[in-house]
Chain A
Amino acid sequence: MDMITSILAITIRAGTSLVFATIGEIFTERAGILNLGIEGIMLMSAVTGFAASFYTQNIFIAVLVAVAVGAAMAALHAFLTVTMRANQVVSGLSITLFGSGFASFLGQRLGPASNNFRLVGLKGARFMPASLEGISEVPILSAFLNQDLLTYLVYILIPLSWFFLYKTRPGLWLRSIGEDPQTADAMGIDVIKAKYFYTILGGVFIALGGAHLSLSYTPGWAENITGGRGWIVVALVIFSMWNPARSLWGALLFGGINAVQFRLQASGTNIPAAFLNMLPYLGTIAVLVLMTWWEALSKKVGAPAALSQAYMREDK
């Protein structure tokens, strides 16, 4: 493979988990719920998914376990913010704090006795890249078509969720909930139920992102395997202006930063590794500043108007 194809292939691999989580968070935020628990959910689904893959050696059970855990954690966020009307920022932070603590606890406890109950260093079932005969020789194209199953799922998910959000009736309802829940309610939409549903659906996609990390990208469990990806996703949602179709660009950008880091480190540059590792985080800040600035300039507002506001139905 030539260099561009190989960088592109790594970019897509690195971007997969980001797209999953970004689309999940877009659904959640479109329903007016800000979920800052992404990092915690990704860590929890990564650790439980990997544990399941280690014990069952079945990749699909592993994904199911990860998704169930992600859905449960998102449901907790929905319960706290929708039913108990807790502050969404603090509730999301709590999910992340708890999720990272509990994930590292599980990583030190779920392993077999022979490994001192730790999961670090074990091997489980994992997703392997699959491609059609012959395609792996074609430059550029092979970068897209020599990926694992979850990445192929992303290819379908991006157009599908765009179509759902902008071309279907339930998609219109969802957007209306995030913009003006009172009106949506008056239109006969069950706002509370919808907020629960899309928060949990978001959790499912975020969990797929977490599962991709421990089952494919860096197979295995390592403490803090996400490395802040859950937070980068919060910025990517802003970057994509809450539009699933645009989630691709942000993920490619950050996947690309990862790939360039990879290449530079491998080629032995004299830039210290620490500075290379800062790139995604500095990039996130740059993206945020640019987006905010651009929004102010173009007077376009991307965020759902009722994002992170508690909704309380007036007594009828």
Chain B
Amino acid sequence: MRIVFEKRKSRARGILFAVPALSFMISMLLSGIVLLIAGANPFETFASMASGAFGSSNGFSETLVKTIPLALTGLAVALAFKLRFWNIGAEGQLVLGGIASSWVALFLGPSLPEPLVLPLCIAAGFAAGALWAGIPGLLKTRLSVDETLVTLMLNYVAILFAEYLYYGPWRDPKGYGFPGSAPFIEAAWLPRIFGRAHAGIWFIPVIALLFWVLLRRTRWGFELSIIGASPRAARYQGIAVQRNILLAVLLSGAIAGLAGACEVTGISHRLQQGLNLGYGFTAIIIAWMSQLNPLAIPFVALLMGGILVGGDQVQMMMGLPSAMGTVMQGLILFPMLAGSLFTEYRIRVLSGKAKKSKVACVEGEA
């Protein structure tokens, strides 16, 4: 008797949903064990996390506050991942978007006609994110420099640049030494819709739907899918691979930059510490758990936002480290990855002699 793995021709729909769901449950189980070892009651902790994140209107609005950047960066990352461009720089693109948006609000805003201020702030964030992602994008497509490292290093650079600005030249002289810029004029504020949750939330369905339509219904999206599946095949089809990758990466950075613009215009109303809370990294988990499906990303982002708010909640209520939320999120990925064996391959137990030709040898995946 032998066990063989056959590469699936197409991924089974049921499994596509079952693996993330099961992974979430396994991560709950593993987190439960971590909690037990840490000396806390897992059921009580999870219940407290859930009620903290979704149980009250205040908690739910905080969950939405986190969902907005998470969903946007999740969509941004997923778009790049579709092309196997490993953009782990959403964090930096978000920060740079926030910086550009703040620049418009602080320095152009007072002299602009009021209705123009907010749209320009948002546009600036969009453009700055694209610009920041364009660096690794160009390096990758022109010089084939590895994008994983460049996107990651630029995170640090963007975060340090923001620090320089709010500790240095942009620091509010009336801020009592508080590290942050002066507050924006009100024309640059995104309207609040529910608690602290702001109108930036509307970008999520719009971008998710556009992303879905792009991939499923347009020629360009079709080209992107081919590039993602096999760059070589795409080249033989006459698709401009490098140009398409660059365009998608610019768009990916722009969406992450938009998230940054929403953070400063919707939440803090100034450039200050706490713009980089690791959303760009959680975005990777979200994109992967959604299996890069843009329509699933908002819901997974909501779940992850809830876990983060719940993590803060158990810190206040039960004295557990707030990093509990991050641990839970990290634990989700491992069962997901192990499960990819079942989404990519069909497992067959053969008895006796089977034909050798039935067994597929795996081509490498970079």
Contacts and interface: CB of A to CB of B under 8 A. Distances in A.
Interface of A: 36, 76, 79-80, 84-87, 89-91, 93-94, 97-102, 104-105, 107-109, 117, 228, 231, 234-235, 238, 272, 274-275, 277-278, 281-282, 284-285, 288-289, 292-293, 296, 306, 308-312, 314-315
Interface stretch (B102-110, B258-266, B332-340): B332-340
27 contacts: A84-B338, A90-B288, A91-B337, A93-B88, A98-B331, A98-B334, A99-B330, A101-B326, A101-B330, A104-B321, A104-B323, A105-B323, A107-B323, A108-B322, A109-B320, A231-B149, A238-B146, A274-B167, A278-B161, A285-B153, A289-B139, A292-B144, A292-B145, A308-B366, A310-B364, A310-B365, A314-B356
A108 B149 contact: no
Nearest to A308: B366
A107 B366 CA distance: 35
Contacts of B320: 109
A281 B156 contact: yes
Interface size class of B (residues with CB under 8 A): 35 or more
Given A101-B330, A272-B168, 7 more contacts: A85-B340, A86-B341, A87-B337, A98-B330, A98-B333, A310-B364, A312-B361
Contacts of B145: 288-289, 292
B333 A102 contact: no
Given A86-B340, A315-B2, A234 B323 contact: no
A85 B156 contact: no
A312 B168 contact: no
B213 interface: no
Given A108-B321, A235-B149, A292-B146, A85 B326 contact: no
A238 B144 CA distance: 14
Interface in B204-236: none
A285 B321 CA distance: 35
Nearest to B167: A274
Contacts of A281: 153-154, 156-157, 160
B99 to A, nearest CB: 13
Nearest to B144: A292
A84 B143 CA distance: 33
B1 interface: no
Given A86-B338, A272-B168, A234 B362 contact: no
A84 B341 contact: yes
Contacts of A100: 326
Nearest to A98: B330
Those 9 A-B pairs whose CB atoms lie nearest each other, nearest first: A309-B364, A98-B330, A101-B326, A108-B321, A274-B164, A94-B333, A86-B337, A105-B323, A312-B362
